[in-house]
Amino acid sequence: MVDVQQIIDKNKESLIIPDGIAVIGKDQNIIVFNEAASRITGYSEDEVIGRKFEFLFGGKIDERKSILESLKENIAFSNLAINLTDSKGHIKNVLASITPIKRDENVLSVVFVFRDTKEMLSLAEEIQQKTSELINQKNKLDAIFNSNIEGTFTIDNDWNITSFNTSAEKITGYKKFEAIGKKCRDIFNSSLCRNGCHMEETVQKGKPMIGNELEILHKGGKIIPIRVNSAILLNNKNENIGAVETFMDISEIRNLSAHLREFFKYENIVGRNKEIKQIISVLESVSQTDSSVLITGESGTGKELAARAIHLNSSRKNGPFIAVNCSAFVESLIESELFGHEKGAFTGAIKTKIGRFELAQGGTLFLDEIGDLSTAVQTKLLRVLETREFERVGGNKSIKMATRIIAATNKNLTEEISAGRFREDLFYRINVINIHLPPLRERMDDFPLLVNHFIESFNKKFNKHIKQFSSSAYDLVMDYGWPGNIRELENAIEHCFVLCNGDIIQVECLPKRLREPSKITIVLNNPDVQKGFKETEKELIISVLKKNNHNRTEAAKELNIDPSTLWRKIKKLSIEI
């Protein structure tokens, strides 16, 4: 015989069964009544044990006849709709089953199992709601999983792919249904698969791997370079069930990197000037070290281009190049810009901010116009360079600095030190290697090369076929002082390309500042001047030099020409000074 009491006791302990259970003996007395039965009927176990079962049906014969038939005729019933009467006299509809328990073909008792239909409906609604919530949650997770720009997949401990997102499909060329259940090596076809790949470290040692680069074989046959991260995959019991990997196609990044390295090749620096050749040699040597570099020179001489060339030809080329213009921020903000700040560090600091030093970790930080830093910020910068550590504003956690520093300025820092505006000790810290870029006026022997370089460059950009400047336009270009140096020259030639409709740049295409006549031109155009061109020009220069006590700079200002232009004319006209 089935041990009914043991089953009931087990159900009592579990407290998870929703069904009321009553065991009714041959004498029609109730011998077992579980907690669910008490909850549904309102009768306690003590109130019903030993009583005739008929009170559960309000004395109605039709409702209890099935139990009587089961006791007498050994008949089992299921899915019966029966009305019970609870302790308060309320009618409750229940769904019931009746099973006889017998020995030697004699019925000893019946098990009456019943469930409140309202509870069933409520439970069904609750299950439906929970199911709907789970479906919504799954849909959200699927949306996040498939909207990730990175390819993402998971594997089990047998290297079988268990999930595969949309980006993974795009990068590999394999559809989800093709990848699920396959070994990851069969999809990625990398030379590192099961041969020291990052996933082995993750699966076997539980070690996350970040930023590894490798090449995989696309379904279409082409090689795809990817950068991957991997981590161990755990279930809700914290058990290892496989690994997860995210990866991204770095083809474009590699192409851009190769393009930048090509663009910043030292041999692409235009110029045959002796000083420029020496600078290129220094740049090549400096790139192979991590020493701090100070690049000096006037505005527009290409200080940032030199800094980028150093970075992109160094061992840090795969790290970030972060540039910050120290003159672009007020003193109250520059410290936060450089070192970052914690939330609440000052009014307006509504969230934590990562500074430029932190962004440049593993790469190069370019501090442009460092001469414009206040002495207070200079002091903090000096400490960072000495200790190789920094803290965010408002923070107390030291962060190790793994950044190369390249600084630049258009100021004479020696004069700034003498005036008390720049710290001498900081100067020596950043000036381990000094590279001085000469102004354009001091490398006029490179001027034709630079002009031809920009003409060729802008022909490609504007899809034009301009050959050169007219002789009169070129004279004006040569005589101009170019205070903005190469940057100004480049912008001026671009201006000419916008206006020029032929293949020769004429005077009218030049920017206005280049077309304004100088004092020399005014005098030469004077009809009262009857002397030859050279003689008149020579006499004018001599008179202006005498007037200014042979100070070439002042004389050039009065003549409205650049000092270097005046010097060339003095040599050309054999003027003794």
Report the CATH number that the domain containing residue 186 is assigned in CATH. 3.30.450.20
pLDDT at 295: 93
For the cut 80, the answer to whether the pLDDT of residue 113 exceeds it is yes
For residue 283, count other CB atoms closer than 10 A to its CB.
Answer: 21
- What would the mean pLDDT of 220-237 be, rounded to a whole number? 85
In this prediction the pTM is: 0.51
Could you say which of 249, 284, 301 is where a domain stops?
Answer: 249
Portion of the chain with pLDDT greater than 70, in percent: 89
- What would the mean pLDDT of 212-237 be, rounded to a whole number? 85
Could you say which of 249, 275, 293 is where a domain stops?
Answer: 249
Rounded Cα gap, residues 188 and 174, in angstroms: 10
For the cut 60, the answer to whether the pLDDT of residue 520 exceeds it is no
* Residue-wise pLDDT tens digits, 28-42: 999 999 999 999 999
In a domain, residue 138? The reply is no
Q: Tell whether 269 and 321 lie within a shared domain.
A: yes
Q: At what angle do helices 533-547 and 552-559 cross, to 10 degrees?
A: 120
Q: Tell whether 401 and 294 lie within a shared domain.
A: yes
pLDDT at 538: 80
Q: Tell whether 317 and 353 lie within a shared domain.
A: yes
pLDDT-based confidence at residue 527 (cuts at 50, 70, 90) = very low
* Residue-wise pLDDT tens digits, 452-475: 989 998 998 899 999 999 988 998
pLDDT at 269: 64
pLDDT-based confidence at residue 5 (cuts at 50, 70, 90) = low
152 bridge partner residues: 246
For the cut 60, the answer to whether the pLDDT of residue 4 exceeds it is no
- What would the mean pLDDT of 395-411 be, rounded to a whole number? 91
For the cut 50, the answer to whether the pLDDT of residue 523 exceeds it is no
Pairing of strands 364-368, 321-325: parallel
pLDDT at 41: 92
pLDDT-based confidence at residue 17 (cuts at 50, 70, 90) = low
pLDDT-based confidence at residue 540 (cuts at 50, 70, 90) = confident
For the cut 70, the answer to whether the pLDDT of residue 386 exceeds it is yes
Could you say which of 436, 459, 489 is where a domain stops?
Answer: 436
pLDDT at 7: 47
pLDDT-based confidence at residue 27 (cuts at 50, 70, 90) = very high
Residue 58, phi-psi category: left (phi > 0), alpha (psi -120 to 50), beta (remainder): left
* Residue-wise pLDDT tens digits, 287-305: 888 889 999 999 888 888 8
Return mean pLDDT, the chain.
Answer: 83
Rounded Cα gap, residues 384 and 381, in angstroms: 5
Helices and strands of the chain, counted as H and E runs: 25, 21
Choice between 526 and 534, residue whose per-residue pLDDT is larger:
534
For the cut 60, the answer to whether the pLDDT of residue 415 exceeds it is yes
Look at the chain and report how many structural domains it folds into.
5
Tokens found for residue 62: 């039709």
In a domain, residue 480? The reply is yes
pLDDT-based confidence at residue 420 (cuts at 50, 70, 90) = very high
The enclosing domain of 555 has a CATH number of: 1.10.10
Q: Tell whether 412 and 447 lie within a shared domain.
A: no
The enclosing domain of 473 has a CATH number of: 1.10.8.60
Half-sphere exposure of 43 (CA within 13 A, CB side): 25
Rounded Cα gap, residues 223 and 219, in angstroms: 9
pLDDT at 531: 47
pLDDT at 160: 92
pLDDT-based confidence at residue 2 (cuts at 50, 70, 90) = very low
In a domain, residue 168? The reply is yes
Rounded Cα gap, residues 100 and 4, in angstroms: 11
Domain that holds residue 108: 4-122
